Chains A and B, each alone.
Chain A
Amino acid sequence: MVMSRDENKREGLDRYIILAVFILVAAAAIVFNLAKIQLVDGQKYKEETKYRLSAEGYIYPKRGDIFDRKGVPIAGNRMGYCAQYVDIKMPKMPNAEKNKMLLEIINILEADGKTIKSRLNNFMSFEPLQFKTENPGDFIKTIVINKDDADYIITAKQAFDYMREKTFEIDDSYTPEETIKIMQLRYEILVTQPQISNPLILADDISAETMCLLEENSRLRGVTTFIKPYREYYENARLVSHVLGYVGSINAKELEEYNKELEKVEGSVPYIASDIVGKMGIEQAAESILRGIRGETFLEVDENGKIITSYQERAPVPGQDVFLTIDLDLQRVAVESLKRNIERIRKIEHKKNFGDANAGAVVVLDVNTGEVLAMASYPDFDPRIFLENNAAEINALWSNPDAPEVNRATSGKYAPGSTYKPLVAIAALESGVIKPTTKIRTPYKEEIGNMVFTNPEGDQGYIDLEKALETSSNMFFYKVGVQTGIDNIVKWAKIFGFGRKTGIEIGEQIGSLASREYKRQYIEDDPEWYPANTAMASIGQLYNSFTPIQLANYVSSIANDGKKFTPHLIKMAVDQNGKITYEPSNEYEQLPVSPKTIAAVKKGMIAVVNSEDGTAAKVFENFPFDVAGKTGTSETGREATSSSNGLFVCYAPYDKPEIAIAVVVEHGVWGRETAPIAADIMMEYFRLNKKKDTKTDDASKESIDIIW
């Protein structure tokens, strides 16, 4: 077939038309799209881009680390992750999609052992389905989507069904358990309305795996994670459980009290309900040092809840590190020896031993600084149970009849027994009743103020102070005490720090002093003071009750010739730049006691340990220096059924004192039985149990090798 020109021409025209149509259609498609984007959906997109919410976020600071005096770490921080949720407004997520997403989040968190808290549980229980509140009306108001619907909801079942079908539209494909979980979280979201400025914390301290799952999974919209330093206690922490204490969530009362104090400081950052604070020990005492100050970040989020801008608006200030005066090596010896000796004492066969030694405490002070080198209390606890929130262990601790949480070194109150005798001697010497050389007749029996007193040491004839301390002669001190008078004794007891706080940083008890004042105040049926009372008070009985820290500081003041330091546990605090921000003053109070008096008392105390008749002889037998000390066996008033308390106070070396020690073992039967604890501590402190080769000087060759 041959085409005519005309036909050819028409063919050409057709092609142009076709081309034009093609171009038109293509252009139309473009214009259509443009129009749709700009005109039809323009408003929506504009709103979406405008949807930029900004808020302040927190930057959590680390809490100050805690070290021993040599820098061995005791408490520190580890990094933990938290999950939070922000409800996304734009674009609104359909209920079905939201429920599915939330269940996925719930499942991820539950696999990590976390349960999401929901206030729905305050109003409803699910098995059986019933209201937990007397007046569910207010609760129902929070769940209805139309105000009028509230009138039709009467039973818990109706409320449940309403939430499932109307409020949250949880479809039937979910199991009853899943439905409840979704409902609980949806309700919490409903009442919280979590926005970027008030995110809903879904879970605290989630695992790294959970964090990764939540972060990487982009379908989980609105879920973000953040990090927070968490308190961490190392293995060593157990050795100093009472000194360290522990931390916990701030309670309403603490929140109010701390913030009231902070209000007075300009520019201070208040505590918030999710903060942790120290609850005991140094953690509590040094709260203001250890506490870090949280920083603030400026956040901006887009329509998907995604953080698009974030910068540090106020830098957090990390808590300052605290170095304790405690020497962990010495502490370990103290802790272990205390435990070992309590167990040993329990097994001693004697009619006076009821095998009930169950607790004790020991304090070691540096006599030249007042630093606490070791402080142990038995039984102890593991501070880590509080970090783990281990409810079973915590409950077991609180219900333990031996009260392991009590720091007996500062809060245990014990009659000092014969360890009080050096104090009575000081009072007697200072008030001129006796001289160091004065010999007093100490018979077996004597009547003092209408009461017959006997001397457990028998008739000792005429003895002086040194012999009296050495043998712990009760009769000597009955008589000298009565002559000195209770007021003089109390005066000197107060000078040496009894009957008041020592000033140590952590919590401590005051105890009590046997005095006229005390009897008048507390003994209502017989408030009058008798000479026999003075006699009893003079051997450290009656109303005398002291803490081990008071006893240690008293011995320390004798050892260093009347210098009374404030015992302390914090060696220094250091800020993030390594600058020392706190150091306790090593100032001391010079007690108004004459050197002669001190010398006489010291002579008696050295005899206790070193003479044949000394009550603690033999324990320190092979030491290369002299130890001065005093035993004490204090009656608890229940001697028919339980053993007496055993006490021992000492210091060493005699001629150039370095450390003072006070030991108490509850139901320790005799004071002398507690002396080995002090001996163990001295061996460690003076390195007596270390091999010779650790010392390089020649003098050490002469020191005696002690096999313990």
Chain B
Amino acid sequence: MRRILTNKIFILVLVVILLLALAAVSYSERSGVNIIGNIISVPAAPLQQAFSFVGKKVGDFFGYFEDVKKTKAENEELRKRISELEQQILDIDRLTKENKELKDALNFKDQYDEFDFIGSSIIAKDPGNWFEVFTINRGSKDGILPDSPVITAYGLVGRVSKIDLLTSRVISIIDIDSTVSARLSKSRDLIVVRGDVELRSKGLCRADYIPPNTDIMPGDTVETSGIGGIYPKGIIIGKVVSVISNEGQYDSYAIIEPVVDFKRLEEVIVLKKEP
């Protein structure tokens, strides 16, 4: 008996089984979105995480030797870069200081001050080419709340919809369940950015409620308005691809290309409201 308990393999197997069972059960109870399409992906999702982890490690190992050669060459290159970057850091320090002074002078409160940034990785996604609805490796354990905004360094990704202990579901702005109150950065007109049944398959979304005679052109930036209660102000959403006026209709709508690449998405940042 004692031998069995101390058997490392057995303990490992037991833990894996427990984890898998736990994950499977938690999935079956909580995921309610797009079930029919998910018959394959949902039950497989817990395994997916394990496989992708192992696969990554193995790949890393073999890549090591090849990397050494490359690394040497890069080393020289990087040393040069370091001195350049050191100079830039000095500049940045100076600018940061200046920025802070100016902000203080303007009594400007940073929108993001009230948020904690939680980095997270995507561990599963719904089928399709695009990251419309996906799962990240952070959950209620990490203090994530429903409706927490999700961003990348480029701009807006979406919001958290459902939360488990260790994972959360994220609804991206191209999903049809997403609506974001937004502004045209240039004209400051209020619009509403929505996921669209047809556009989502192209990784695009649409902006509704554009009043007539609005100063809007392809290439214009669209950002969050901050007045919808979920997303903080000023996060870049995307760029206007085209403006479409339906015959006779008073308002127009625009097709928006998100700045975030929803085809290749790995790491995202969840904005967690500080208590």
Contact = CB atoms under 8 A, between A and B. Distances in A.
Interface of A: 15, 18-19, 21-22, 25-26, 29-30, 32-34, 36-38, 41, 45-46, 48-49, 59-62, 77-79, 81, 208-209, 211-213, 215-219, 225, 227, 229, 295, 304, 306, 308-309, 312, 315-318, 576
Contacts of A25: 17, 20-21
A29 B180 contact: no
A73 to B, nearest CB: 12
A38 B43 CA distance: 12
Given A217-B230, A309-B197, A79 B17 contact: no
Q: Of A25, A41, A312, A576, which is in contact with the most chain B CB atoms at under 10 Å from its CB?
A: A25
B219 interface: no
A32 B251 CA distance: 51
A216 B246 contact: no
A216 B147 CA distance: 10
Contacts of A59: 246, 248-249
Contact of B177 (A37, A45, A212, A304): A304
Contacts of A79: 209, 211-212, 250-251
A30 B181 contact: no
A318 B10 CA distance: 76
Given A215-B192, A215-B228, A229 B24 contact: no
5 contacts: A21-B13, A79-B250, A211-B209, A218-B178, A306-B177
Contacts of A576: 248
A219 B208 CA distance: 20
A12 to B, nearest CB: 12
B153 interface: no
Given A29-B43, A218-B159, A218-B177, 18 more contacts: A15-B9, A22-B13, A22-B17, A25-B20, A32-B28, A62-B250, A79-B250, A211-B181, A211-B209, A215-B179, A216-B180, A216-B228, A217-B228, A225-B192, A227-B209, A227-B251, A306-B177, A312-B249
Nearest to B209: A227
Interface in B198-229: 208-209, 211-212, 225, 227-229
A229 B9 CA distance: 71
A34 B39 contact: yes
Interface in B9-24: 9-10, 13, 16-17, 20-21, 24
Given A25-B21, A29-B21, A308 B197 contact: yes
B35 interface: yes
Nearest to A293: B248
Contacts of B9: 15, 18
B120 interface: no
A38 B28 contact: no
Given A30-B44, A33-B27, A315 B248 contact: yes
B231 interface: yes
A218 B177 CA distance: 8
Contacts of B181: 211-213, 215-216
A316 B248 contact: yes
B268 interface: no
B123 interface: no
A452 B13 CA distance: 131
Nearest to A108: B229
A15 B200 CA distance: 49
Nearest to A224: B179
A368 to B, nearest CB: 36
Given A33-B24, A216-B180, A77 B249 contact: no
Contact of B248 (A37, A217, A309, A317): A317
B269 interface: no
A77 B248 contact: no
A257 to B, nearest CB: 26
A312 B161 CA distance: 31
A213 B21 contact: no
Contact of B225 (A29, A212, A229): A212
Given A227-B209, A312-B246, A213 B16 contact: no
A79 B214 CA distance: 12
Can you list the 9 inter-chain pairs with the closest CB atoms, starting with the nearest?
A216-B228, A212-B181, A315-B247, A33-B43, A212-B228, A315-B248, A29-B24, A316-B248, A229-B250
Given A30-B24, A295-B248, A308 B43 contact: no
B190 interface: yes
Contact of B43 (A30, A60, A62, A77): A30
A49 B28 CA distance: 18
Contacts of B102: none
A22 B16 contact: yes
A306 B27 CA distance: 24
A216 B228 CA distance: 5
A61 B248 contact: yes
A62 B24 CA distance: 54
B197 A212 contact: no
B248 A216 contact: no
Contact of A37 (B42, B159, B171): B42
Nearest to A300: B197
Given A212-B190, A212-B192, A34 B248 contact: no
A49 B34 CA distance: 8
A11 to B, nearest CB: 9
A215 B209 CA distance: 12
B89 interface: no
Contacts of A308: 176, 197
B47 interface: yes
Contacts of A60: 250
A304 B39 CA distance: 21
A79 B177 CA distance: 25
A77 B230 CA distance: 31
A232 to B, nearest CB: 12
Contact of A318 (B39, B42, B179, B250): B250
Contacts of A209: 227
Interface string B23-34: 010011000000
Contacts of A62: 250
Contact of B39 (A38, A218, A219): A38
Q: Of A45, A79, A306, which is in contact with the most chain B CB atoms at under 10 Å from its CB?
A: A79
B58 interface: no
Contacts of B16: 22
B250 A227 contact: yes
Contacts of B10: 18
Given A315-B249, A318-B248, A37 B28 contact: yes
B20 to A, nearest CB: 6
Contacts of A216: 179-181, 228-231
Contacts of B44: 30
A26 B14 CA distance: 11
Q: Of B9, B21, B192, which is in contact with the most chain A CB atoms at under 10 Å from its CB?
A: B192
Given A227-B250, A309-B197, A33 B28 contact: yes
B36 interface: yes
Contacts of A41: 35
A42 B16 CA distance: 29
Contacts of B197: 308-309
Interface string B235-256: 0000000000011111100000
Interface in B168-191: 171, 176-181, 190
Interface string B44-82: 100100000000000000000000000000000000000
Nearest to B246: A312
B244 to A, nearest CB: 11
B248 A29 contact: no
A18 B13 contact: yes
Contacts of B21: 25, 29
A131 B77 CA distance: 86
Contacts of A38: 39
A15 B12 CA distance: 12
B176 A306 contact: yes
Given A18-B10, A218-B161, A306-B176, A26 B20 contact: yes
A318 B250 CA distance: 8
A213 B248 contact: no
A33 B231 CA distance: 35
